[in-house]
Chains A and B, each alone.
Chain A
Amino acid sequence: MKIRTLALAISMATFGLGSTVMSTAAQAQAKEQFFPVIVYRTGAYAANGTPWANGYVDYLKLVNAKGGINGVKLSFEECETGYATDRGVECYERLKGKGATVFQPLSTGITFALTEKAPVDKIPLITAGYGRSESQNGAVFTWNFPLLGTYWVGADVAIQHIGKQAGGLDKLKGKKIALVYHDSPYGKEPIPALQERAKMHGFELMLLPVAHPGVEQKATWLQIRQARPENVLLWGWGVMNSTALKEAQATGYPRDKMMGIWWAGAEPDVKDVGMGAKGYSALTLQHGAEPGSKVVKDMLAMVHAKGQGTGPKDEVGSVLYMRGLISAMLGVEGVRKAQERYGKGKVMTGEQTRWGLENLNLDQKMLDGMGFAGVMRPVQTSCLDHMGSSWVRVHQWDGAKWNFSSDWYQSDDKVLRPMVMLASGKYAEEKKLTPRTPEQCKQ
């Protein structure tokens, strides 16, 4: 009885103590540009979420090591979501009160939830390579920035590449292409773009959903074995990707006929399968694994050599690490651009950063100067185009590492632009928003 009362008393006291500890911790703030870091280092998608988070945080550390943004140092705080939407919203609410510059949730589900909140709180949302495809239209989605590419871009380029391999897009007529997708907003995003292309070229699109987290795929691959589609597109994340490759191996589906989106084309996806994944190719969001690039060398010299690296050293330069790094870079460059207008060496608000992101103009010279030579191509955003670039390459797994296997592609604006305008117009109508006019954009 004594122990029981004691334990009860302790748990009550912890609650009391906790609230005081937390209120003191919240006060420590200086004149720094605060970057909230929403991550998932635990849960079903941890293997993929961790390198991204490490790259993101490492880049912020690198900027600090180089003296900050025109002298303004960066501060950051991580919040763990476990890829759950409700925890993501909680993290957003927790970190936004600390003067958040820009949010990058790395989850399409969380992006959908935050799209409603960002305009109210005046905090921009960068979703580099994910999120809502129609949010490319900045006139309606003022606060969303799907920089570098959306899933519609991915779907469009995937079909272009398959067409090129088949010897022309007209050769796709009558063929079957299967989409194996994560059954969530993330996996469903490419469907409209693929359907549009299917209508244009007369191929048949097979839709094969896989339930979260994606370890149950026996039935899906049985269907593929029966229907024998010419190509399989893989829109998976985390453990779903390696499972799909193992199932393809088990059913004998040729891996070189499989192509993944850029979230299904990193080391954690293929490492376990090793040689079994040989020939499997995936789209890249401009960059692949870049261990030889200058920014990675800088990172190793200025951050990791001083023992400040966030993750293990050998992970630096891997695909998802680079994705996190580039995502952070885009946020930082948005702030830098905003400083040009609102005062160099000052801390930017979310609203000012938004202007910076909308007027981002990273030409090749600047990118090369930052150490992204050979990694990235120029990015230029505008009011109507919040994506800034749609350059995509394809890389292929040779059993040990990723090698680029194609030239640069760009999505076909003639196909996608009307879709973006239609979908964003529908959104504006639903939400009773008036799209910004070109005059309003200039402000």
Chain B
Amino acid sequence: MIYRENGQFKTSYGADQQIFPIAQDRYLVLAIIAFAFIGVPMLADEYFFRAILIPFLILSLAALGVNLLVGYCGQITLGAGAFMAIGAYAAYNFLIRVPELPLLAVLILGGLTSAAMGILFGIPSLRVRGLYLAVATLAAQFFWDWAFLRIGWFTNYSSSGSVSVSNLTVFGWDISSPVNKYLFCLAILVVFALIAKNLTRASLGRQWMAIRDMDVAAEVIGIRPMWAKLSAFAVSSFFVGVAGALWGFVHLGSWEPAAFSVDRSFQLLFMVIIGGMGSIVGSFFGAAFIIILPIFLNQFLPALGDLFGIAISTAAVSHAEFIIFGSLIVFFLIVEPHGLARLWATSKEKLRLWPFPH
């Protein structure tokens, strides 16, 4: 009833090819973005910003990057954590070695360094694919873990191996308060999501999807696999690298290589699988599921116990959190193997027929 495109006539190619051809979708997304920029800063408290929203935004960006590679180009990667680390440490080194650079440039340079390394470690994808490629990218993870722990130059010879940044400003705008950090991350995420969406609709994204669906056929119709695969690695690593730099600079403030361990790589891959491969909105769903659900369970279970007068021990809550989280992953994958994004799409289909399904 409300969600119908009846009466919306397109009179130009531009109108036909826009990102959200249905007006309701367009207004909804604009409303969400407006709410995120204006409503959320008025409603949320510091805990919400620092512990939930900022990690969610940054890891959404990383998941978006991984989704471009895994979901759109079909190249499985287990090295996403390493590329986050490269982004963070490269940005750190640019920041301390060239102090004149503005923060935004530092973040972009961190992303570019990560992109260059992505191309390098993407080379095996030209020969191996599938699980074998996953193992090859795992090499990147272990190599960079080792490098950031062992090579003192990367951490500016910090004795503990932990580096930190502070006093961040973007063109004179001090982003040390949680609200400003949130707005900064949100602005970056919106820009990058727009870039990602448009890339996937453009020639490059179509090449990636052709390679994903059948690389031999794609090659026959004139798509260069080397260009397509390496560009996917580069763009993906760029996104992931910027996210890594934000994770270190904005979220943690002080970090060690363990913040970007192999666990992080798995976490990002799971976000993409649970959220929906080959879907931009899926990256957000996946990140929300993986970041927010455990924290929610951790607080919800004791509160629920209190309601019934049962005191649950900290260890039991933590164990229950893992059990419920794990079973929910299994549940959602059984209900919808194509991820939360497909559930979202199905519900939209249903909404179109509502209230008179046939």
Report the separation of the CA atoms of residues A293 and B7 in the bound assembly, to the nearest whole angstrom. 84
Q: List 9 A-B contacts (CB under 8 A).
A: A21-B303, A80-B317, A85-B255, A89-B51, A112-B160, A120-B176, A132-B160, A188-B161, A192-B159
**Contact status B47-A113, CB under 8 Å:** no
Q: Which residues of A contact B258 (CB under 8 A)?
A: 85, 109, 184, 212
Q: Which residues of B contact A50 (CB under 8 A)?
A: 315
Interface membership of B307, Cβ < 8 A? yes
Q: Which residues of B contact A212 (CB under 8 A)?
A: 258, 261
**Contact status B295-A90, CB under 8 Å:** yes
Chain A at the B interface: mostly helix, strand, loop or mixed? Answer: helix
**Contact status B167-A431, CB under 8 Å:** yes
Q: Which residues of A contact B169 (CB under 8 A)?
A: none
**In chain A, residues 392-443, which have Cβ atoms closer than 8 Å to a Cβ of chain B?**
423, 430-432
Min Cβ gap B61→A in Å is: 16
9 new A-B contacts at CB < 8 Å, known A41-B313, A93-B51: A4-B335, A80-B318, A89-B50, A89-B252, A93-B50, A109-B162, A183-B149, A192-B159, A212-B261
**In chain B, residues 275-314, which have Cβ atoms closer than 8 Å to a Cβ of chain A?**
295-296, 298-300, 302-304, 306-307, 313-314
**Contact status A109-B253, CB under 8 Å:** no
Q: Which residues of A contact B180 (CB under 8 A)?
A: none
Q: Which residues of A contact B261 (CB under 8 A)?
A: 212
Interface size class of chain A, counting residues whose CB lies under 8 Å from the partner chain: 35 or more
Report the separation of the CA atoms of residues A320 and B275 in the bound assembly, to the nearest whole angstrom. 43
Q: Which residues of A approach B to under 8 Å, CB–CB?
A: 4, 7-8, 11, 14-15, 18, 21-22, 24-25, 39, 41-42, 46, 50, 53, 78-80, 82, 85-86, 89-90, 93-94, 96-97, 108-109, 112-113, 115-117, 120, 132, 183-185, 188-189, 191-192, 209, 212, 423, 430-432
**Contact status B166-A113, CB under 8 Å:** no
Report the separation of the CA atoms of residues A423 and B302 in the bound assembly, to the nearest whole angstrom. 43
Report the separation of the CA atoms of residues A183 and B318 in the bound assembly, to the nearest whole angstrom. 26
Chain B at the A interface: mostly helix, strand, loop or mixed? Answer: helix
Q: Which residues of B contact A18 (CB under 8 A)?
A: 296, 300, 303-304
Q: Which residues of B approach A to under 8 Å, CB–CB?
A: 45-47, 50-51, 55, 149, 159-162, 164, 166-167, 176, 251-256, 258-259, 261, 295-296, 298-300, 302-304, 306-307, 313-315, 317-319, 328, 331, 335
Q: Which residues of B contact A89 (CB under 8 A)?
A: 50-51, 251-252
Min Cβ gap B167→A in Å is: 6
A-B pairs with CB below 8 Å: how many? 111
Q: Which residues of B contact A25 (CB under 8 A)?
A: 302-303, 306
Min Cβ gap B106→A in Å is: 16
Q: Which residues of A contact B164 (CB under 8 A)?
A: 112, 115-116, 430
Top-9 shortest CB links A-B: A41-B315, A185-B160, A93-B51, A18-B300, A25-B303, A116-B253, A78-B314, A90-B51, A42-B318
Min Cβ gap B357→A in Å is: 13
Report the separation of the CA atoms of residues A96 and B254 in the bound assembly, to the nearest whole angstrom. 19
Q: Which residues of A contact B50 (CB under 8 A)?
A: 89, 93
Q: Which residues of A contact B51 (CB under 8 A)?
A: 89-90, 93-94
Once A93-B50, A97-B47 are accepted as A-B contacts, the answer to whether A112 and B254 lie under 8 Å apart by CB is yes
Say which residue of A22, A42, A85, A94 sits within 8 Å of B300 (CB atoms): A22
Most central of A96, A120, A184 by chain B CB within 10 Å: A184
Min Cβ gap A416→B in Å is: 14
Min Cβ gap A133→B in Å is: 9
Say which residue of B46, B160, B331 sits within 8 Å of A97 (CB atoms): B46
Report the separation of the CA atoms of residues A184 and B261 in the bound assembly, to the nearest whole angstrom. 12
Q: Which residues of B contact A96 (CB under 8 A)?
A: 47
Q: Which residues of A contact B253 (CB under 8 A)?
A: 113, 116-117
Min Cβ gap A219→B in Å is: 14
Report the separation of the CA atoms of residues A291 and B296 in the bound assembly, to the nearest whole angstrom. 40
Smallest CB-CB separation from B142: which chain A residue? A211
Say which residue of A11, A113, A115, A188 sits within 8 Å of B159 (CB atoms): A188
**Contact status A109-B256, CB under 8 Å:** yes
